[in-house]
Structure 1
């Protein structure tokens, strides 16, 4: 899950969460917590990164060291029956299905929603925001760009990248 960090309205860092957190550790303390914001590039949601270096916990034995998390899945009997006939068992089949879905990418609506979440935080009080969001959901990129022209460039460009990743 790549993330993008902004310091005030300028793009500061983009990459894996740990890489971005490492870069943020080198910053001087911000005057306000809202001066440094980090966003998930897939969902557009604001995320918190562990900027304070945490002591490494001793590693235990077993699968958790691989990042495996056991959770309950509720399926109908016909689903369990189908899963039991798949090579590798239920867990391997579910992992394959999820990875295949992730490779197909996000839907157009997912992209627009991610841009909306990001822009609500970063541009919600800027001139033309509401009309720009209407243009965003209408799929009118040219109108969106015109309405967002006066916004900070990094905010406008990141909103465009989230909304129209194949074009940006």
Structure 2
């Protein structure tokens, strides 16, 4: 997924990471969109985002042995049942879109007009969306003020191989 470094002030991070390059905040967000990594309340809306749908178990962000945290029963039951119908996935639009042109939580639709999920965040042609896994390989669209924009979703390479089935 990449790496983050905490270094002393003035230290050059490129001396630590071979083949690395120094980027800015936009580069960081575009990288995490490509990887399907959520961050903050826009990607993980409080009271709406579920930890398993947000792939937090894949990132060791959920403990199934520790007790007493909010949502523990639902998270544990869903994990042990093994059925997660929606997940946060990286998406790519067929054209670059200004992020302010997409309303928060905009609905993503299948070709037949059926709801496939919700847009969470993006920049240009990249973004992340909560999508029904059953619709991932179908043509998907997002309604924007100028019409429909086609998008494709992908399963991140870093996911466990058994998860993409």
TM-score for the superposition, normalised by structure 2: 0.29
Q: TM-score, normalized by length of structure 1?
A: 0.29
- Choose 1 or 2 for highest CA Rg: 1
Of Structure 1 and Structure 2, which has the larger fraction of its residues in strand? Answer: 2
